[in-house]
Structure 1
């Protein structure tokens, strides 16, 4: 592809020598997992977000699993989760023995619909997982009101939203607990996997810290308070994330600049293209996702121009084979199902060359000009 979607070679080019040095320094340190570099990263994220507790773990799915277990999810417990999302927001519930209760989403933003959330609350509901996707945040104020009304714990899936804000409040600590993922594709992408749990709740912080490391309290080794996991962050990942965090705000601003160019170029293509443009300056653009008429044709056209795209996500979670046991049918989640047929992610990353941005814009505009001519 002339215009790649992820383009890791460009994204990591600046850090080539630094990465080699990090690997070497960790290799000769005798400290490989959950040592001083991880503690430094936890402190840095604490300062960046204002969270009281930051617990570094192996990946974002692990963070969800640990938090759900700390919140008491298991057999007989219902957890409300979006019908349109990455699978881990539902699979982690099921793997703990709980029941995912899927909630439809807003037809434009793709975020959890508070109205449907209220309809889906059951007597066994204990936790709700509002998930921020792409560059958009769930309606946390409305979800909080419903959670308080029904005595629900709020697990904010802010995996892609480090640095994002909603009405001035920072993503991740607007619920009882949240998380940030450092999978390489994320805005603060690491070398390998990684994530942190964030919370202002002392008990959730205490339990999460033990669950990540075999139920140990971090004070007395080989004394296990809980049955926990081996879900620790390694020193190489932490060291690189510390390095990259120093320029993170600049990376976010570059992403916003590119998104702003896309927004301006595509606004006259409505309703053929729908894009969420609200709260632009408070958003973190993990991916730039549009809802597009004739999505599959557009994708093929862009590929013919050498432009790589991604579909997030092709099937609503309740209709995935993995959740067939819940008995959902096509039409049960109309908004989520509609978005799966229209969503398309265009290339966007901080190091993206301006000529690539223009190639994408020209190609998308050209496609719909051709469509209109033949309409």
Structure 2
């Protein structure tokens, strides 16, 4: 059996007619830039996130970068974030000419440890970026308390966590702003790149709208250096078709995660640490990530058996060559370094069948029984 990490083709087949109808409307209208589809998506995603503003941009990486610049982060500033995340988080800080300050993780959730954040604050700290890794929120209540106490900006990198909650508060409610990625593999994915900033901060929203169109307002009058970073109208049309399905797709992901956890604990609980959903949290399971010894050997065996898997992420940001000038060394952030050697994400998508999950579980059991 061949088990992919996700099956976008099956999802497309279920909505194909509606997608093609909406794409044809865009083509017929000949309005391709910041048209009605982008406006609708911005309004709907902002309302879903319980905030006032949605600002569609070209991708999730730009969403973080533009959010930072929109709150005035720049040269001489420090931004604290987790080391265990996709490169875009740290890259956006550096692109804003600020200095990333990496801290270690909570080993249960894989997310940034608030206690370490507070210890890392200096008089140069301008912002914190909390990453909601794999679909479970970081401890935003604790982080917001820290941000308010020290009068610094708190941004949520929610590329993997649209719809996630902590104690009834959804992504977007507790931060100064939250950023989404609509990369095709995300829980709400476009058919190309796309991203969005959501916020209640009127000034941040206005600045972000200006920055995404070369820093111009009105058109052709440029008071700041901006970028060409607009959410594409065709991608917004696709996302508008998909968005009403998001809650159902999330429920299916959560059901698959529960099944994985139950069966893996029964079969290979001595060898595999399954993900823990923290009390009061609503995990949207962008990834289903286990921790194992002999991770690389297990991944190779699964590949031989037709099972896809991914390592998110093999090298923490503080050890990336591009950040070597910051002076971090191996051993500085040991919990993230350990997770990078043990974490393995298994196939996870809404349309996954029990038969497929059973096959994945059986092959993991075979590996450890050898």
Deviation at 1:24, TM superposition (A): 2.9
Q: Does 1:272 align with 2:268?
A: no
**In 2: Cα distance, 1:355 partner to 1:271 partner:** 23
Deviation at 1:246, TM superposition (A): 1.3
Residue 292 of structure 1 corresponds to 292
Deviation at 1:279, TM superposition (A): 4.5
Q: TM-score, normalised by structure 1?
A: 0.94
SS of corresponding position for 1:246: helix
Residue 146 of structure 2 corresponds to 146
SS of corresponding position for 1:15: helix
SS of corresponding position for 1:72: coil
SS of corresponding position for 2:81: strand
Give CA-to-partner distance per residue, 1:217-246, whole Å, 9 cap, x none: 4xx432334321110011111111111111
Q: 1:232 pairs with 230, 233, 237, which one?
A: 230
Deviation at 1:273, TM superposition (A): 1.7
Q: TM-score, normalised by structure 2?
A: 0.95
Deviation at 1:76, TM superposition (A): 0.6
Residue 244 of structure 2 corresponds to 246
Deviation at 1:144, TM superposition (A): 1.6
Residue pair 2:215, 2:223 contacting (<8 A) in 1 also: yes
SS of corresponding position for 2:22: helix
Deviation at 1:37, TM superposition (A): 1.0
Give CA-to-partner distance per residue, 1:166-199, whole Å, 9 cap, x none: 1000012311111121110000111111111100
**In 2: Cα distance, 1:117 partner to 1:22 partner:** 45
Residue 326 of structure 2 corresponds to 326
SS of corresponding position for 1:197: strand
Deviation at 1:82, TM superposition (A): 0.5
**In 2: Cα distance, 1:319 partner to 1:277 partner:** 27
Alignment of 1:1-20 (within 5 A): 2-20=2-20
Q: How many residues align?
A: 368
Residue pair 1:59, 1:183 contacting (<8 A) in 2 also: yes
Residue 113 of structure 1 corresponds to 113
Residue pair 1:180, 1:197 contacting (<8 A) in 2 also: yes
**In 1: Cα distance, 2:146 partner to 2:47 partner:** 30
Deviation at 1:26, TM superposition (A): 1.8
Structure 2 unaligned residues grouped into runs of 5+? none
Deviation at 1:214, TM superposition (A): 1.8
**In 2: Cα distance, 1:342 partner to 1:161 partner:** 22
Residue 255 of structure 2 corresponds to 257
Structure 1 unaligned residues grouped into runs of 5+? 371-375
> What is the alpha-carbon root mean square deviation over aligned residues?
1.6
Residue pair 1:255, 1:348 contacting (<8 A) in 2 also: yes
Residue pair 1:181, 1:194 contacting (<8 A) in 2 also: yes
